[in-house]
Amino acid sequence: MPSKKVFAYGGCFGPTTIEEVDKWHCRAFVASGLGSMCGLGMRDQNSICIANELTGKQAELVCDPVILYGYKKEIEGKKRPMREPYLVVYAYDNKFDDQSEVIKDYAHRNGLKIVSPGFIQKWVDVNANVDPVDLLNWFQHAECVVTNTFHGCVMSIITGREMAVKMRGNANKLFNLMREYKIEERVFGEEKSLDDVFAQKVDWSVVDEQIKERRAASMDYLKRMIEK
């Protein structure tokens, strides 16, 4: 970057591990890039551990930018996008096909339409073409959310929706997020069904407290980096 001072906010290695960095002989390359920064704000513990090992610097945990900003003004007062009660499925195109029958069974037993905003799922009732604010509006009026993505969980958190989460290759990043916000019991799969997960309600007072703490710490990090 053409700047004398660069810092990272919300950095993330995704599912990548330090072993994979070494496997592909990227240690020197990645360490050089991270080492040139004056601050390393990472959004999950896996990324913090990798950054610490590669640079010897202490990376800091910051919240995802979507949680930091919250989008409260943008979605406040927006009308319900459809009349019928509905369940949101949030996954990349055709990446939830293996769970389609499970989700359809739960939704239809509970009188819910199934909506996929932003991505195409051939088996849902409605595929909705959305911009980012429309997407959040679909979340905030949903009866519940079923997702296998990091940001599906993030958007459930900021809109206060009951969620059920299926783990996939992003388990490091996703489960770390859930553990931070005290919602790790929302995972469904072999051990817990959708009925099991949704029978237990999220303690939103605990989640909201975590949001406040993490927003404050993240804003403090940004202020220190800008003033440094």
For the stretch 177-198, pLDDT in tens is 999 999 999 999 988 999 999 9
- The share of the chain scoring above pLDDT 70, in percent, equals 99
Residue 189 exposure: Cα atoms within 13 Å on the Cβ side: 11
* Domain extent listing, the chain: 7-62, 72-207
pLDDT at position 142, please?
98
Residue 148 near residue 165 (C-beta atoms within 8 A)? yes
Does position 113 have pLDDT exceeding 90, yes or no? yes
pLDDT digits (tens, 9 = 90+) for 143-153: 999 999 999 99
Phi/psi at 117 (5° precision): -90, 125
The answer on pLDDT for 213 being more than 70 is yes
pLDDT band at 53 (very low <50, low <70, confident <90, very high): very high
Query: In this structure, which amino acid lies at residue 105?
Result: D
In this predicted structure, what is the pLDDT of residue 172? 74
Residue 170: predicted pLDDT: 61
Run of H or E including 201: none
pLDDT exceeds cutoff 80 at 1: no
Name the percent of the chain in helix, strand, coil, to the closest 5: 50, 15, 40
| Three-state DSSP class for residue 21 | helix
Do residues 75 and 159 touch, judged by C-beta distance below 8 A? yes
Mean pLDDT (the chain, rounded): 95
Helix 150-159 vs helix 132-140: crossing angle, to nearest 10: 60
CATH no. for 72-207 = 3.40.50.2000
pLDDT band at 199 (very low <50, low <70, confident <90, very high): very high
Contact between residue 130 and residue 138 where contact means Cβ atoms under 8 Å apart: yes
**What residues form DSSP beta bridges with 41?**
60
Residue 147, classed as helix, strand or coil, is: strand
Q: Mean pLDDT across the stretch 56-85? A: 95
- pLDDT class of 7 with cuts at 50, 70, 90: very high
Q: Are 3 and 38 in contact (CB under 8 A)?
A: no
- Residue range 94-110: mean pLDDT, rounded: 96
Per-residue pLDDT of 151-164, as tens digits, reads 999 999 999 999 99
The tokens of 166 are what?
């299926």
Mean pLDDT to the nearest integer, 199-222 = 97
Residue 208 CA: distances (Å) to CA of 79, 130, 143, 157, 160: 24, 27, 19, 9, 9
The pairing of beta strand 60-61 with beta strand 39-42: parallel
Model pLDDT for residues 114-150, shown as the tens digit of each residue? 999 999 999 999 999 999 999 999 999 999 999 999 9
